[in-house]
Structure 1
Amino acid sequence: MTKNEVIALLQRYEDQLCTPEERVFLQNWYLDQSKKNASLTLSENFLIDKEASLRLILYPRARHRISTLKRSVYLYKKYSRIVNTALFIICLSVSFLLYRSMGGDGRAVVPGGYRAMLTLPEGGTINLVDAGNGVIATDGAMKIRKVNNELLFEIIDSQKIYRERGQGEYKIETPNGGQYAVVLPDHSKVWLNAGSTISFPVDFTAADRRLQLNGEAYFEVFKDKLHAFRVRTKMQNVEVLGTHFNISSYADEAVTKTTLLQGTVQVVPLTSASGHAPTENLRVLAPNEEAVLTPNAFYVKKVDPADAIAWKDGLFTFTDQPLEEVMAEIGRWYDVNISYGDGQLKEEKFTASFSKYTSMTTVLKILESTGAVYGENGDVPVKKEDIHFRMEGRELKVYR
């Protein structure tokens, strides 16, 4: 990146024309550079000039900016050699950091956002990012509205829905780096995490309320004693009447977790051969319990349910979780691939909590600061070699 390109990028920020990715990059870079360069033995005047530039980038509407710019021009003339040398270094640094922050496809590695695709029963699709607020689809029986970052299904002709039983389904899908909220026709609400899909039939409310899930979703089920609410995943059926719960069941993960916050749910594993749920293996969960289902085990444990739904509230919260599970969540949200220099790293345990909207640069620092794990040598804690993380394109490498 040339000096002129750097100046153009800074001007775009000042004019409020930067993309979200460029704005996050500039702000994080300036904060990072201000920390790294705090001990430079440059003149006091140059340090003042650097701080003035920082204020201009972080607070472009500060009242002092005009006088700051005048002082900067004077200082530039007085210390032109130092300033030009420093600017050259900045140009190289910005170029390098922009390269590091971009994936192999040229996209910056940034946190996810509200993104989803709606597929209608007849096969048409609607990108919810592009759709405006208001009614986005209607077929005489169902009206679908988008309100900010929520999708609302409203029944306008229940008799027509009953007549059209078995005639297609609705599907809502979030990509990696996406999430969305959906209000179902029965007024139940579902929050979809990244890389997840729910689908339900046109006649969702005609009999039992049936829904298919692949990925992770949090449910607040509208209470209806006459119509059970059933969620099917690749490994289990969950049945409720009215309750709040979370299910994590990704196709590429061997573990399915069902966490209950309120009410009661019944979890029944599916047999791999028939796809049916044998009732003798069911578990009934009470609040603050989690059913864990793997190909070889099925058990219930006590948990803090707030950890399970932290993603819905804009947080990553990991409590003594295997690194493989931690990185799977981060990879889906930031839409990056994860690779390991040593397969044993996947079993290391991590505990951390931070915003889902943290920049990738900061995420890597947090992970490294919590990656100094300890083993046991008899009764003596032994510090293992630190775990490190490095972005290369859209691949996040984990190694010792």
Structure 2
Amino acid sequence: MNKKEAQELFDKYAANLCTPEEKAIVERWYAGELAAKPVPNVKGLDDTKGEIWNGVVERAGLSAETSRRKPKMWIAAAAVLFMLMSAGLYFYTHKPEPPATFVREVNNSKLPGRNEAVLTLDDGSKIILDKAAKGTLASQGSTLISKLGDGQLNYHVSAKTGDGVGNAIAKYNTISTPKGGQYRVVLPDGTIVWLNAASSIRFPTSFETAQRNVELTGEAYFEVAENKAKPFNVAAGKTNIRVLGTHFNVMAYPDEASVNTTLLEGSVKVSTGKTEGILKPGQQARVLNGKIGVKSVDAEEVIAWKRGYFYFKDADIRTVMRQVSRWYDVEVEYQGNVPEMAFSGKMYRNVDILKMLEALSYFNVNYKLADTRKQKGKKTIVIQ
């Protein structure tokens, strides 16, 4: 099995798409890798980090002098190990002891997100999609809206009007995911959209004008159906993304500093005000304060959410917790001197929130998880 095949297998495992045979292969691999090292206790934690770091240095061909100049790398290596352990992908009889500074206050745990969304029709009526039965949900003009067997929402436009340029007043629908929700929808033109947590997309029930325009808040991954005669436009705040047919990700959460558009395939033009930029695959445009910055990025990190896992590269605690807050539907508060540290590693999004927090606790990040006073049933994570 080569590296690419192994990565594809791990991605299938993360998305719970493996056959029993494939699942056994992955779990045997993890068992073999992790069983080779003893479970660290508090006293042996530093030694374990050192062993991991030495292995990273050896595999990368770095000198000892180079390794001393890269202190973040041992943090990254340790984070990968402990995130995997926290995700339940280890087979020890005993769990490692938490550090002495570890604080946990739990009334009950918090499960990860699921396929959950609300469809708001043009007349304002709402349909809770995760509770709706499969089949036809509504009819609007020439468009039939139906829920498929896999939970996906599908829009079907009759051939009479679906490909023309009409003068009828457009009807708009909005699909919104709550915190802790995600959903996939096929738009009237065949474009597939994956919505991340706390996101919404507004679109016409049929694209009968000269352009295909949608509005996004939050984050979504698009696979745009090609139609050179009708450009596809995504409006995210003051940022506009224009394409003909391509695959890209847009992150436009209100609590993030910038609107980020990442291109995986094809070509897009990103504009804000009078400024614009053209992206190539593997590039990301960051719109901040009316300016556009373009840089090359790791696309795997950007679309990890779509594939079912968290992926961090030198991310600070606030960046990590913004994703945790949206996916687990919790509030986050910070108290005292929160340590400044870079986290790197992967972790599946289908694990209980406590396993995610346990991974952070190995780096002297204290937390407690308790009921919030603001809203009954909600949880608050206090980072100290």
Q: Does 1:324 align with 2:309?
A: no
Q: Which residue of 1 aligns with 2:118?
A: 117
Task: Report deviation, 1:396.
Answer: 0.6
Report the identity percentage. 36
- Partner Cα distance (1:321, 1:296) in 2: 24
Q: Which residue of 1 aligns with 2:355?
A: 362
- Partner Cα distance (1:318, 1:267) in 2: 25
- Whether contact under 8 Å (1:322, 1:348) holds in the other structure is yes
Task: Report deviation, 1:210.
Answer: 0.2
Aligned pair partner of 1:194 in 194, 197, 208: 197
3-state SS of 1:339 partner: strand
Task: Report deviation, 1:362.
Answer: 0.8
Instruction: Assess, with a 3 A threshold, how the Cα gap between structure 1 residues 203 and 140 changes in structure 2: closer, same or farther.
Output: closer
Instruction: Assess, with a 3 A threshold, how the Cα gap between structure 1 residues 359 and 110 changes in structure 2: closer, same or farther.
Output: same
- Partner Cα distance (2:227, 2:290) in 1: 34
- Whether contact under 8 Å (1:162, 1:203) holds in the other structure is no
Instruction: Assess, with a 3 A threshold, how the Cα gap between structure 1 residues 351 and 235 changes in structure 2: closer, same or farther.
Output: farther
Task: Report deviation, 1:158.
Answer: 4.1
State the AA in 2 paired with 1:314.
G
Normalising by structure 1, we get a TM-score of 0.64
Q: Which residue of 2 aligns with 1:159?
A: 161
- Whether contact under 8 Å (1:186, 1:205) holds in the other structure is no
Q: Which residue of 1 aligns with 2:334?
A: 340
Task: Report deviation, 1:397.
Answer: 1.0
Instruction: Assess, with a 3 A threshold, how the Cα gap between structure 1 residues 142 and 162 changes in structure 2: closer, same or farther.
Output: farther
Aligned pair partner of 1:181 in 161, 180, 184: 184
Would you say how many aligned residue pairs link Structure 1 and Structure 2? 274
Which structure: larger Rg? 1
Provide, for residues 341-370 of structure 1, a one-character-per-residue CA deviation record: whole Å limited to 9, x for no partner: 14765x64221211101111111111223x
State the AA in 1 paired with 2:380.
E
- Partner Cα distance (1:121, 1:296) in 2: 32
- Whether contact under 8 Å (1:164, 1:202) holds in the other structure is no
Which protein has the bigger helix share?
1
3-state SS of 1:123 partner: coil
Query: What 5-or-longer segments of structure 2 have no aligned partner?
Result: 1-38, 40-103, 372-378
Alignment of 1:238-249 (within 5 A): 238-249=241-252
3-state SS of 1:246 partner: strand
Alignment of 1:1-400 (within 5 A): 100-102=106-108, 108-147=109-148, 148-156=150-158, 158-159=160-161, 163=166, 165-269=168-272, 277-278=273-274, 281-295=275-289, 297-342=291-336, 345=339, 348-369=341-362, 372=363, 386-393=364-371, 394-399=379-384
- Whether contact under 8 Å (1:110, 1:334) holds in the other structure is yes
Task: Report deviation, 1:140.
Answer: 4.1
Deviates more, 1:205-214 or 1:291-300: 291-300
Task: Report deviation, 1:162.
Answer: 5.4
- Whether contact under 8 Å (1:121, 1:167) holds in the other structure is no
Task: Report deviation, 1:139.
Answer: 2.7
Task: Report deviation, 1:254.
Answer: 2.3
- Partner Cα distance (1:235, 1:101) in 2: 42
- Whether contact under 8 Å (1:182, 1:191) holds in the other structure is yes
- Whether contact under 8 Å (2:284, 2:297) holds in the other structure is yes
Deviates more, 1:184-193 or 1:359-368: 359-368
Normalising by structure 2, we get a TM-score of 0.67
Task: Report deviation, 1:285.
Answer: 0.5
